[in-house]
Amino acid sequence: MIRYFAKRLGMMLVALFLIMLLTFCIMYAVPGGPFTSDRNMSEEVEAALNAKYHLDRPLPEQFYEYVTGVLRGDLGPSYKYPGKEVNDFVENGFPVSARLGFITIVFVLLAAIPMGKKRKMAGHAADGLRHHRRDHSVLCHCFGSDIRIFL
């Protein structure tokens, strides 16, 4: 059992690292930068901002700084709101997100447990129909409707 959890934890860490890498690469694939806007700013001001936020360093070094900052719990400064840290936004939004997540889990369990009991009583679980067509359609519907939120 411990091996199973260690394997799952390792897979989670690899997936998290790959998501961070992919997000970082996509951020730099988009033309422009965090300080590109309609208003014109001088080259000196833009260079000073890039130096302040370490955007003038090579990409591998920036990614290393990003990952080590995340591991320390420091998500860095906000580019949109000067003088504010990203951690402030996370700290303010976490209680609402946690409450919403808890309520969602309660509703899902209140719906899923009776549905599972009904299915078992109908004999579907005992007769070996683990992968029934209806199960796949419900799974695809749930996955398809939820993945849009993350994209």
Task: Give me the pLDDT at residue 103, please.
Answer: 92
Decide which of 93 and 38 is more confident: 93
Distances (CA, A) of 32 to 27, 28, 125: 10, 8, 55
Average pLDDT over residues 2-11: 91
Q: Sign of the C-alpha dihedral, residues 107, 13, 88, 28? A: negative
Q: Is the pLDDT of residue 45 over 70?
A: yes
pTM of the model: 0.57
Report whether pLDDT(8) > 70: yes
User: Mean pLDDT for the chain?
Assistant: 79
Average pLDDT over residues 51-57: 83
pLDDT, residue 151, reads: 44
When pLDDT is cut at 50, 70 and 90, the band that residue 21 belongs to is: very high
Give 64's pLDDT tier (boundaries 50, 70, 90): very high
Render 97-137 in DSSP notation, one character per residue: HHHHHHHHHHHHHHHHHHHHHHHHHTTTTTTT-TT-HHHHH
